[in-house]
């Protein structure tokens, strides 16, 4: 039995079954595109994690704190499960950039570093001597938040929150300013995976639905935004590392940009999750908010009984399409996975009624890839 190990954030996370959840991650569905007698999928992803925090929390390498009692689904640290010949898919980016301003400087944000004259970002791998004490709260944090426009009350609330987060780590951790870079953290995973005889794969994250003149916009908080060398800095950095380290890259970002721009701003919204008036994700059974897919989802839309459309997280149908594209790209790059890929997925996921008129467009687009 070959295993696909999934490391990442809320976009990769397996939320549960297709009946009680609106929200979905591609990890919910990837296994349905392969022969289940030959391939299993283990999904260690969880919401809010970056390449740095995933490591600091012990979700990858056992630090004695993260146990099988913690989500996801009793798996415990990922590295303990990886065996020779397995595949490890890495999708980190969504929380590594400043998507929530500078508030997540303490636990999530990961620096790209300064690119060279060709726009290549540095690969500085975290090492144990870079770790700093969790008892020493970064003194620069209040000023960073003040420059980000936060009030004194908001700053104090964040300081309390992140002191509690640091208290949940071991006595040392990799801080934002420890010296390691985004490409360096990814290389850390890659080197460890290869040391086990397993195969690392970088997966670029799906695009956020940030629109400008009918196109997906490269703005601050959207995978790093732009610099003088181009758009979507973290996406470019991930692809650079793939080329430098001879690691396969599944370019989900490029696919999703083209796909949602094909649908257009209105119809592409129906691929997304929705958020309640009290800022909770609707239809998420893990937190005792189940709702029937897609009947209840359609009713929420009909009644406009929700606060906003989630510009980042997909619903069951959107995440199913994205999982199918990942399976397609994997089978194109690895012969052994191609032999185990199903001609037709072992399940179907119902679509929101508002996409009825676009099903042929969706089918044609997916089949042309």
Give dist(CA 184, CA 190) in Å, integer. Answer: 10
Residue 111 gets which letter from DSSP? -
What is the pLDDT at residue 220? 87
Any idea which residue has 């890929």 for tokens? 341
Q: d(Cα 137, Cα 47) in Å, to the nearest integer?
A: 24
Sequence-ordered strand ranges (E) for the chain = 2-8, 39-43, 87-91, 99-102, 132-133, 172-173, 199-203, 211-212, 215-216, 248-250, 272-275, 308-314
Per the rule left: phi > 0, alpha: psi between -120 and 50, beta: everything else, 150 is beta
Structure tokens that stand for 308 in this block:
């906003």
Over the stretch 277-301, which tens digit does the pLDDT of each residue have? Answer: 999 999 999 999 999 999 999 999 9
The Cα 320–Cα 347 span in angstroms is: 10
Helix, strand or coil, per DSSP, at residue 306? coil
Q: How far is CA 237 from the centre of its chain?
A: 15
Q: What is the pLDDT of residue 348?
A: 97
Say what the pLDDT of residue 305 is.
Answer: 95
DSSP state of 37: T
Q: What sign results for the dihedral spanned by CA atoms 70, 203, 243, 4?
A: positive
Confidence of residue 160 (pLDDT cuts 50, 70, 90): very high
The per-residue pLDDT for 318 is 98
Mean pLDDT of 168-188: 96
List, for residues 217-267, the tens digit of each pLDDT value.
999 889 999 999 999 999 999 999 999 999 999 999 999 999 999 999 999
Q: Smallest Cα–Cα separation from 97: which of 269, 253, 291, 279?
A: 253
- Residues of the chain with pLDDT > 90, as a percent, come to 95
- For residues 10-21, average pLDDT: 98
Among residues 263, 272, 324, 232, the alpha carbon closest in space to that of 31 is found at: 324
Residues counted in the chain: 369
Predicted local confidence at residue 99, as pLDDT: 76
249 - beta bridge partners?
202
pLDDT, residue 98, reads: 83
Parallel/antiparallel/unpaired status of strands 211-212 and 215-216: antiparallel
Nearest to 179 by CA among 112, 96, 99, 93: 112
CB contact at 8 A, 201 and 248? yes
> Which residues are bridge partners to 277 per DSSP?
none
Nearest C-alpha neighbor of 120 from the set 247, 205, 200, 230: 230
pTM: 0.97
pLDDT band at 174 (very low <50, low <70, confident <90, very high): very high
**Does 100 score more than 80 pLDDT?**
no
């Amino acid at each position: 039995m070959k295993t696909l190990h999934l490391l990442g954030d809320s976009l990769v996370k397996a939320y549960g079954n297709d009946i009680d959840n609106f929200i979905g991650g591609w990890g919910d569905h990837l296994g349905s595109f392969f022969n289940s007698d030959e391939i299993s999928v283990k999904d260690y992803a969880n919401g809010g994690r970056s390449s740095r925090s995933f490591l600091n929390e012990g979700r990858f390498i056992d630090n004695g704190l993260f146990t099988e009692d913690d989500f996801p689904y009793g798996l415990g640290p990922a590295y303990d499960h990886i065996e020779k010949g397995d595949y490890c898919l890495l999708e980190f980016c969504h929380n590594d950039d400043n998507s929530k301003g500078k508030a997540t400087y303490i636990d999530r944000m990961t620096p790209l570093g300064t690119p060279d004259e060709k726009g290549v970002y540095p690969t500085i791998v975290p090492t144990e001597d870079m770790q700093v004490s969790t008892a020493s709260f970064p003194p620069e944090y209040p000023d960073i938040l003040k420059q980000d426009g936060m009030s004194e009350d908001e700053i104090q609330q964040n300081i309390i929150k992140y002191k509690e987060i640091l208290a949940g780590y071991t006595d040392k951790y990799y801080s934002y300013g420890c010296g390691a870079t985004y490409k360096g953290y990814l290389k850390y995973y890659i080197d460890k995976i290869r040391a086990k005889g397993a195969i690392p794969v970088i997966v670029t994250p799906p695009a956020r639905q940030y629109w400008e003149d009918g196109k997906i916009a490269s703005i601050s908080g959207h995978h790093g935004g732009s610099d003088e060398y181009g758009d979507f800095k973290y996406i470019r950095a991930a692809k650079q590392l793939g080329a430098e380290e001879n690691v396969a890259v599944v370019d989900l970002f490029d696919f999703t940009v083209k796909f949602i721009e094909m649908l257009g701003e209105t119809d592409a919204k129906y691929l997304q999750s929705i958020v309640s008036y009290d800022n909770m994700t609707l239809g998420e059974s893990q937190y005792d908010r189940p709702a029937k897919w897609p009947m209840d989802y359609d009713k929420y839309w009909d009644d406009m009984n929700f606060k906003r459309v989630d510009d980042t997280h997909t619903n069951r149908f959107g995440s199913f399409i994205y999982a199918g594209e990942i399976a397609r790209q994997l089978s194109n790059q690895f012969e052994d996975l191609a032999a185990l890929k199903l001609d037709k997925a072992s399940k179907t996921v119902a679509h929101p009624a508002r996409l009825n008129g676009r099903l042929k467009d969706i089918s044609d687009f997916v089949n042309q890839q």
